[in-house]
């Protein structure tokens, strides 16, 4: 069955849907040249069909056959047989040695490590354990798939033992399909109809992808967990998921609802120190391990965002975590206890010293050393919530006697939701390479979470991935680079993001120099580009935190209890987090770091507004004022996003049509939405501060024609909220849900020539309106609103920054005096909303 799945994946690769990700095993142009140099036999030592070693042998044979068109025979043996011809030996070090193989010169390996020797006629892929063998096989195939047949031999060991994926899948919520919170790639691959899916083929395919990048466990359900996960039918289903994971060395874990004993009606309390509660959790854990002997452990979110936890009973977080740790200890299981703990009900922006960023250190203060050894504190990379830039969480420096793991969000919740290209590893590296200077000694975060800095045995990396049933897994082909890179960095956080990216490009697309250079340059620019047109100087992402976490809405950050405040007013902006005058957050860092952030002159510009409340006219280290930097950065970011579609277009003949068109669609959308972002943020702060843009760009758009100023029939003006997401604060909507609206204008002030016609409109999730553009009654373009379905971002039922978008019709010949008309046909209760039209000379963006 396993071989059937593997070879089936090869056939699917022809369609180039993205299902195979970086495991395409595409035929190399140099295949014929290299054909004779490759092994012809694969010898698999001492394995069963469900073991990772067996999988490793199958993968090697499949990969060589697909990449080079060379069939390899596969043999299985309990003893080592010296090869007559070039052979790949696949097994563990122990299996190899016990069957007569020589291990002299092979360095000692750590758990999950491997030895790869391609320097002789016998290729050796030997793991410290069975999972390590599989990792070595994928490493070998990665080299071959990139055309690397170098004669090399080396050992590779993981940086940390915890390399987990967190899925936020729900048993229900997506109709018959299980939904995925913050998932932009479709419904759950694990759940449907309130239970585990009967067909788990996609779960097996996912495990294969993850194993190829060294991921060793997946938590399959949402951190906002459901107590039903611990019922017998669901646990039986979880066993089936674990069974399809096992051949790939991927263990299964689950998120827990802390109050499960009470929620299931089996106890009247969930107090972690109550004897009956303790016994209940021990019994439930025993039941899980009877079904899943290699169960990885529990992920727990407690006392945050309305979730119950130990604080409900005035117990400490350590007492809560230890409840589960002791139940898992007999089996070697791990508790991943999230540090995302804060009390929004008691945060008040009017109190100058209130600060959500302080919460993690405050809640864990005094608890270091009180956790059981199998507890790992899972800490978000920044103290708020996966923003476009945050300082490193100071909690890492406070956990010296307790293992910790860094939580990174692969799914782009606040960062464009896979509709905007944002390659995340450069962001992650700012945190992983940050030096906490604990006790004035080098204390890089990557050394802390690996356990090396404080001599801990556990620790590592947790990535929130949230894949779905979309064949591209994350909904976007280019976003898959983030999943790939997470695994690579979890294995070795010293790797360079650009080098990881280029490996991924070669494996996912091809090694054509233009493909490599184009995708590398766009991806490496993407994070600073997105930061520029969303939120910069450490002010956070400036998205709508009260609704979809997607489009622009800076006003939503303040005047609420969620604590992602900017404290912006007419004169000043930023959070004062100093010790001497602010919330004291800077003082949570070790002294050498604290003094840097305490002083405005030594705080990096890119975090200025995170740590300091300053006037808009405050000069940065660059010499610019804060407000002028905002204006310039937002224009620069949106301008660079405009280049992405044309740069991608240079690859048209170098990438298969399906993936080429799907990526182009997203990059074109991003270019339009970046202008929505640019204007929404600049207009907001211009109107708040009343400080003009020195370049005269903000609220000055000479190429725009506002829809509300056109001749309207069946359309009527509509005041948009928030006002800054519509040009002039006003759009037009049809007068009824059955009326076709038209907006027309005579182009009397234009010079005859060739123009791009851009239309900004609102694509709501409550209908599929139809728009048509006419020039002198001749149709020049039309479209149906469906971007929320096509793109997969969080949909919006409103006329707002989430639904705002743009479509452009290039190269239109226009004569002075021509009449431009747009007809909008509503659908359902979506009233075909229009914002404005731009008549753009070549090379101009407005």
State the catalytic residues.
305, 385, 413
Nearest residue to 837 (alpha-carbon basis) of 706, 646, 714, 691: 706
Cα separation, 69 vs 121, whole angstroms: 19
The strand order across the sheet containing 711-713 reads 711-713, 741-746, 819-825, 770-775, 778-784
Nearest residue to 42 (alpha-carbon basis) of 69, 67, 66, 62: 62
Cα separation, 137 vs 114, whole angstroms: 9
Residues 232, 238, 240: CA angle, nearest 5 degrees: 115
Left if phi > 0, otherwise alpha if psi is -120 to 50, otherwise beta: which for 715?
Answer: beta
| Contact present, 364 and 315 (Cβ < 8 Å) | no
720 DSSP β-pair partners: none
For residue 124, the SS3 value is strand
List the beta strands (DSSP E) in 591-634: 614-615
Terminal CA-CA length for the chain: 56
Distant-in-sequence, close-in-space partners of 338: CB < 8 Å, separation ≥ 6: 223, 299, 300, 301, 302, 304, 377, 378, 407
Nearest residue to 371 (alpha-carbon basis) of 310, 283, 416, 427: 310
Instruction: For residue 610, give the H/E element and its range.
Output: helix 608-611
Give phi and psi for 129, each to the nearest 5.
-140, 180
Dihedral sign (CA 6, 9, 14, 20): negative
CB-side exposure of 192: number of CA atoms within 13 Å? Answer: 11
Parallel, antiparallel, or unpaired for β 217-219 and 460-464? unpaired
Quickly list DSSP for 145-174.
Answer: HTT-----EEEE--S-SEEEEE--EEEEEE
Cα separation, 250 vs 396, whole angstroms: 27
CA dihedral 644, 650, 652, 653 (to 10 degrees): -160
List C-alpha distances in Å: 184 to 189, 314, 473, 781, 795: 13, 38, 9, 29, 10
Cα separation, 510 vs 489, whole angstroms: 22
Cα separation, 75 vs 45, whole angstroms: 9
Cα separation, 758 vs 679, whole angstroms: 15
For residue 760, the SS3 value is strand
List the beta strands (DSSP E) in 365-494: 375-380, 403-409, 460-464
| CA max distance for the chain | 89
Residues 219, 222, 227: CA angle, nearest 5 degrees: 100
Give phi and psi for 68, each to the nearest 5.
-120, -5
Chain Cα centroid distance, residue 761: 28
Cα separation, 331 vs 748, whole angstroms: 79
Instruction: For residue 443, give the H/E element and its range.
Output: none
Distant-in-sequence, close-in-space partners of 661: CB < 8 Å, separation ≥ 6: none
């Amino acid at each position: 069955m396993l071989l059937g799945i593997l070879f089936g994946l090869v056939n699917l690769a022809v369609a180039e849907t993205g299902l195979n990700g970086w495991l395409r095993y595409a035929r190399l142009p140099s295949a014929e040249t290299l054909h004779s140099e490759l092994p012809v036999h694969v010898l698999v030592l001492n394995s069963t069909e469900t073991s990772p070693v067996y999988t490793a042998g199958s993968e090697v044979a499949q990969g060589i056959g697909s990449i080079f068109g060379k069939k390899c025979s596969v043999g299985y043996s309990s003893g080592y047989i010296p090869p007559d011809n070039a052979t790949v030996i696949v097994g563990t070090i122990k299996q190899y040695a016990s069957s007569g193989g020589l291990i002299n010169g092979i360095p000692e390996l750590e758990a999950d490590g491997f030895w790869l020797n391609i320097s002789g006629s016998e290729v050796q892929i030997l793991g410290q354990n069975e999972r390590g063998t599989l990792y070595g096989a994928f490493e070998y195939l990665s080299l071959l798939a990139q055309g690397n047949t170098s004669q090399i031999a080396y050992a590779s060991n993981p940086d940390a033992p915890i390399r987990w994926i967190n899925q936020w899948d729900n048993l229900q919520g997506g109709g018959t399909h299980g939904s995925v919170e913050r998932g932009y790639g479709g419904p759950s691959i694990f759940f449907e109809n309130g239970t585990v899916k009967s067909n788990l083929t996609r779960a097996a395919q996912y495990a294969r992808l993850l194993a190829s990048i060294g991921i060793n466990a997946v938590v399959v359900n949402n951190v906002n967990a459901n107590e039903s996960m611990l019922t017998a039918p669901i646990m039986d289903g979880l066993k089936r998921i674990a069974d399809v994971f096992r051949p790939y060395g991927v263990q299964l874990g689950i998120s827990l609802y802390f109050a499960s004993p009470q929620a299931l009606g089996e106890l009247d309390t969930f107090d972690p120190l109550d004897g009956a509660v303790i016994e209940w959790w021990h019994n439930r854990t025993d039941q899980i391990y009877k079904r899943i002997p290699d169960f990885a452990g529990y992920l727990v979110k407690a006392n945050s965002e309305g979730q119950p936890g130990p604080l409900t009973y005035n117990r400490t977080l350590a007492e809560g975590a230890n409840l589960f740790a002791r139940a898992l200890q007999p089996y070697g299981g791990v508790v991943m206890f999230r540090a995302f703990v804060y009390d929004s009900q008691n945060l008040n922006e009017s109190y100058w010293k209130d600060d959500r960023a302080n919460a993690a250190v405050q809640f864990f203060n005094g608890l270091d050393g009180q956790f059981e050894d199998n507890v790992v504190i899972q800490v978000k990379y920044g103290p708020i919530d996966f923003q476009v830039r945050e300082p490193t969480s100071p909690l890492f420096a406070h956990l010296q006697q307790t293992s910790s793991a860094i939580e990174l969000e692969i799914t782009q919740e606040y960062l464009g939701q896979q509709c905007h290209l944002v390659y995340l590893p450069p962001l992650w590296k700012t945190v992983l390479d940050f030096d906490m200077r604990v006790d004035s000694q080098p204390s890089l975060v990557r050394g802390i979470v690996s356990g090396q800095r404080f001599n801990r045995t556990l620790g590592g990396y947790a990535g929130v991935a949230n894949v779905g049933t979309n064949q591209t897994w994350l909904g976007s082909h280019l976003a898959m680079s983030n999943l790939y890179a997470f695994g690579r960095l979890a294995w070795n956080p010293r790797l360079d993001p650009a080098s990881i990216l280029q490996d991924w490009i070669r494996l996912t697309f091809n090694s054509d120099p233009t493909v490599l250079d184009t995708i590398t340059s766009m991806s490496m620019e993407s994070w600073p580009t997105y930061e520029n047109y969303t939120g910069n100087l450490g002010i956070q992402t400036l998205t709508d935190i009260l609704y979809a976490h997607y489009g622009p809405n800076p006003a939503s950050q303040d005047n609420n209890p969620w604590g992602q405040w900017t404290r912006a007013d007419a004169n000043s902006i930023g959070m004062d987090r100093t010790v001497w005058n602010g919330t004291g957050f800077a003082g949570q860092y070790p002294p050498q770091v604290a003094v840097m952030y305490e002083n405005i002159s030594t705080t990096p510009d890119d975090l200025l507004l995170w740590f300091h409340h300053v006037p808009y006219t405050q000069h940065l280290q660059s010499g610019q004022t804060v407000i002028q930097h905002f204006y310039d950065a937002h224009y620069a970011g949106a301008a660079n996003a405009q280049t992405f579609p044309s740069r991608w277009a240079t690859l048209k003949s170098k990438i298969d049509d399906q993936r080429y068109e799907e990526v182009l669609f997203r990059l074109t959308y991003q270019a339009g939405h970046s202008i929505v972002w640019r204007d929404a943020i600049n207009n907001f702060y211009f109107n708040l501060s009343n400080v003009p843009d020195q370049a005269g760009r903000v609220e000055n758009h000479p190429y725009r024609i506002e829809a509300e100023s056109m001749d309207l029939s069946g359309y009527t003006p509509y005041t948009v909220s928030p006002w800054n997401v519509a040009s002039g604060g006003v759009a037009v909507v049809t007068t009824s849900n059955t009326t076709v609206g038209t907006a027309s204008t005579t182009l009397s002030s234009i010079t005859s020539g060739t123009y791009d016609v851009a239309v900004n409109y609102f694509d709501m999730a409550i209908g599929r309106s139809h728009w048509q553009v006419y020039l002198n009654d001749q149709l020049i373009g039309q479209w149906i609103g469906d971007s929320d379905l096509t793109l997969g971002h969080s949909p919006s039922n409103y006329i707002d920054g989430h639904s705002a978008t743009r479509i452009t019709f290039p190269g239109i010949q226009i004569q002075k005096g021509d009449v431009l008309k747009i007809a909008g046909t509503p659908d359902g209760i979506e009233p075909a909303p229009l914002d404005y039209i731009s008549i753009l000379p070549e090379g101009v963006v407005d």
